[in-house]
Amino acid sequence: MMADQQQCARLDIQKIRADFPILGREMRSGVPLVYLDSTATSQKPVQVLEAMDRYYRRSNANIHRGLYTLAEEATVEYENARERIAAFIGAATPKEVIFTRNTTESINLVARSWGQTNLDDGDVVILTEMEHHSNLVPWQLLAAERNLRLEFISVTRDGLLDLDSYAELLKLEPKLVAFTQMSNVLGTIIPAREIIRMAHQVGANTLVDAAQSVPHIPVDVGDLGADFLAFSGHKMCGPTGIGVLYGRKKLLEAMPPFLGGGDMIKRVELRSFQSNALPYKFEAGTSAIAEAIGLGAAVDYLSGIGMKAIEQHEQEIIAYALERLEEIPGVEVFGPEAQYKGAVASFTLSEAHAHDISQILDREGIAVRAGHHCAMPLHEKFGIPATTRASFYLYNTKEEVDRLVEGIYKVKNIFA
């Protein structure tokens, strides 16, 4: 089968579900688990669990320093994972892939290293009203220190970015445009290539929060033209404690180190040091070795299935979920139509608070998220304190959507 045909093949959901041991769990109510919180963190396939277990059982040692067999094996596995991740996102070289703890740390790295070096009094940074706190607070902290001006691309009532307002903001000649590629609340898929193209026209650099996009849709940093892009392993079938910052090599080479300590140095004297080459300049201390290996296995797993096929499956699931949710009296779903969004459905129910909905659904074995989802300004924009969020991934089925709908009707009956 040709690669393109394989990418578009329909997923064998039952085969995929068999790879995720936790999906076979019965909850305390005696019903099978319906996991609908992959936007917060995804479940992990056996291939990832086994890769990490194999490292700890056979090759556990520190990397880059030891000359003995275990250390050399561990180093090779760690760096091979970096190479596969670089290929997965289309980076020009593995040197452009920096391992961090998560998306949050990646964005803070850019703010503290690139931002402190390149942004000063009165400079403009453009964000959006739908940002996760991880792409708001680092810039707010820096703005307070450097007297920066933060401006925001507005969000329309149907959950899309107002590109006319963006065009107006670009007249301010920003130094940076930082935005999410997919909203963790609305599911909105942002036209990232266009946002970046417009930013570059006025000389701005760009940072893409790809925590929600890289796990679900094909992302190629070269095609996008991104200057920086950040994502987390735990949202894409990998372990917690490992994330990635992609940065254009020229930008990364010009940036000072973010943290100081072992492995980020080439030479240290009592009163000075010389930093290491990329990517190690930004990877101080002992790395999350097993986690990087696990993320490499997750990338292999997703690549083997095909990101186009995953995207197609999720489009079918979210279209069905929106159709079913809209049948329920009193439910309001936020965000655009299915064709403009990823597999995220955030909603309110007139009869009950989001926290009550989540707790009652839990009795039915259904795991959803309730609250502001680390996007308080966006909820304030829509005039609501919280939403219930059901998010789907490659292992979810339409039958699980039906279970969710049945559970919501039970909530309505309780509060009737």
Annotated catalytic residues are 374
Secondary structure of residue 179 in the 3-state scheme: strand
> What gap in Å lies between CA 127 and CA 140, rounded to an integer?
11
Q: Given CA atoms 91, 70, 235, 278 in this order, what sign does their dihedral have?
A: negative
- Locate 324 and state its tokens: 């079913």
Nearest to 89 by CA among 213, 198, 202, 183: 213
- Locate 165 and state its tokens: 């307002």
> What gap in Å lies between CA 161 and CA 163, rounded to an integer?
6
Q: Backbone dihedral region of 219: left (phi > 0), alpha (psi from -120 to 50 degrees) or beta?
A: beta
How far, in Å, are 31, 134, 135, 260, 345 from residue 342 at the CA level? Answer: 28, 20, 19, 38, 9
Cis, peptide link before residue 279, omega less than 30° from 0: yes
> What gap in Å lies between CA 3 and CA 9, rounded to an integer?
10
> What gap in Å lies between CA 79 and CA 101, rounded to an integer?
16
> What gap in Å lies between CA 386 and CA 383, rounded to an integer?
9
How far does the chain reach from its first CA to its final CA, in angstroms? 54
The three-point CA angle 404-156-152 to 5° equals: 115
Q: Which stretch of DSSP H or E encloses residue 311?
A: helix 307-325
Total residues found in the chain within this entry: 416
The three-point CA angle 206-297-210 to 5° equals: 20
What is the Cβ-side half-sphere exposure of residue 176, based on CA atoms within 13 angstroms?
28
- Locate 143 and state its tokens: 């703005």
Strand pairing of 124-128 and 344-349?
A: unpaired
Cα dihedral: 69, 72, 77, 78 (round 10): 140
> What gap in Å lies between CA 109 and CA 234, rounded to an integer?
19
